[in-house]
Structure 1
Amino acid sequence: MSKYTTFFMDLDGTVTDSGHAIMSSAQYALTSLGYGEQPPELLQKFVGPSLMDSYQNLLGMSQEEATKAVSLYRSVYEAGKMFEVTVYPGIPEILKTNKKLGYQTVLVTSKPHLFASQIMEKLGLSSYFDGLCGPEMSDPSSEKVRLIKKAMKEFSCKQAECIMIGDTRFDIDGANKAGIDSVGVTYGYGSRQELTDHKATYIADDLLQWFQEKIWS
């Protein structure tokens, strides 16, 4: 029997392959503000952290300009871009099996709660999650540790019993700061080196296999 009872799962790069939707929406905002075409290497860095942080840290925008960029991003994202995603192989089986075996699975994402909820509903995955923890549209902070702690409180999860699953250092750092274990998946948008350097408890190339070997066996 696994010591973990609750699994916090990141959305972008962990449950869904959403890179194209995020990168093209980020570029739309940049083009609208006169920044021109940006290299894929830079746009990929928008997958994971909050949009405000990305526009300010990656492009050196002021808070005022970053706020405009986020608004432009959301205008095209809400119009349909957010549904241009696919579910990674193995994820449906993980969710269904966890539900069947009585484990809690909670979506913990930096994406606004409203968007994440609509995406899960569209993909037919909502019923397999026990909950969703994401920032509100007006929330300036989507720091992962804050979201993890909120989820721990809402789902009465002790530190030793819950684990964060994600694809970037933001997920791993959030878990470490919250005092819980983590799984870094290598199929998303972070590298194996990044996940190792930030001290993920486990590294998984195949998340379904990890569950089969570490949790369900």
Structure 2
Amino acid sequence: MKYSTILFDLDGTLTNPKLGITKSVQYGLSKYNIMEENLDNLEPFIGPPLAHSFMEFYSFSESEAKNAVEYYREYFATKGIYENELYDGIIELLENLVSQQCVLMVATSKPTIFAEKILDYFGIDKYFEFVCGSHLEIYRFHQSYFTDSGNI
């Protein structure tokens, strides 16, 4: 194999996070008396930083967005984290790559603690040498975190 180290994103690459993320956003919005019944309308929250999405799509102030992220995490930590599904063929892919002596890593904007729980929940944590995500205290990490050789 040409590459010996492979980075995976979590959401949208290894797992389909739609239900857990959109229901967590729905919960966060409900704390502001915003009732969004159609989860499809909340799909734009998948990927970008949550605080930014609350500000962009619902005109939240920075303070409101920060609080909305905390509400989001309240739901996500107990329910949303498990409203997630592994994409078909992922286990076979990971097994194949490991059998070729590839080093597998996860790089995600999701807090590391949640990423590790999701990998463990699906039993695929054993395939990854390193999992790098954000810290719960911050809302976005800088891309240089991954390019600084001291962090990987």
TM normalised by structure 1 equals 0.65
Alignment of 1:33 with 2:36, yes or no, is no
- For the 8 Å contact 1:9–1:105, the answer to whether it is kept is yes
Write out per-residue CA displacement over residues 7-54 of structure 1, whole angstroms, 9 at most, x where no aligned residue.
111111110111011001101111221222165444101111121111
Alignment-derived partner of residue 199 in structure 1:
none
**Count of residue pairs the alignment pairs up:** 152
Structure number with the bigger relative contact order (C-alpha 8 A, sep ≥ 6) is 2
Q: Distance in 2 between matches of 1:37 and 1:111?
A: 23
In structure 1, give the amino acid aligned to 2:29.
L
Alignment of 1:91 with 2:97, yes or no, is no
Alignment-derived partner of residue 146 in structure 2:
148
Q: Distance in 2 between matches of 1:41 and 1:146?
A: 33
Q: 1:113 deviation in Å?
A: 0.4
- For the 8 Å contact 1:134–1:147, the answer to whether it is kept is no
In structure 2, give the amino acid aligned to 1:77.
F
Q: 1:140 deviation in Å?
A: 2.7
Q: What is the RMSD computed on CA atoms of the aligned residues? A: 1.7
Q: 1:128 deviation in Å?
A: 0.3
Specify whether residues 67 and 31 from structure 1 end up closer, same or farther in structure 2 by C-alpha distance, changes over 3 A only: same
What is the DSSP-based 3-state SS (H/G/I as helix, E as strand, rest coil) of the residue aligned with 1:7?
A: strand
- For the 8 Å contact 1:6–1:103, the answer to whether it is kept is yes
- For the 8 Å contact 2:8–2:107, the answer to whether it is kept is yes
TM normalised by structure 2 equals 0.91
Alignment-derived partner of residue 65 in structure 1:
64
Write out per-residue CA displacement over residues 40-93 of structure 1, whole angstroms, 9 at most, x where no aligned residue.
444101111121111112222111100110111111111222111111011111
| Paired residues for 1:61-210 under 5 Å | 61-143=60-142, 145-150=143-148, 153-155=150-152
Runs of 4+ deviating beyond 3 Å: 38-42, 152-155
- Give aligned-pair identity as a percent: 30
Q: Distance in 2 between matches of 1:40 and 1:21?
A: 10
Write out per-residue CA displacement over residues 142-176 of structure 1, whole angstroms, 9 at most, x where no aligned residue.
35x345325x5544xxxxxxxxxxxxxxxxxxxxx
**What are the ranges of 5 or more consecutive residues in structure 2 without an aligned counterpart?**
none
- For the 8 Å contact 1:50–1:142, the answer to whether it is kept is no
What is the DSSP-based 3-state SS (H/G/I as helix, E as strand, rest coil) of the residue aligned with 2:106?
A: strand
Alignment-derived partner of residue 163 in structure 1:
none
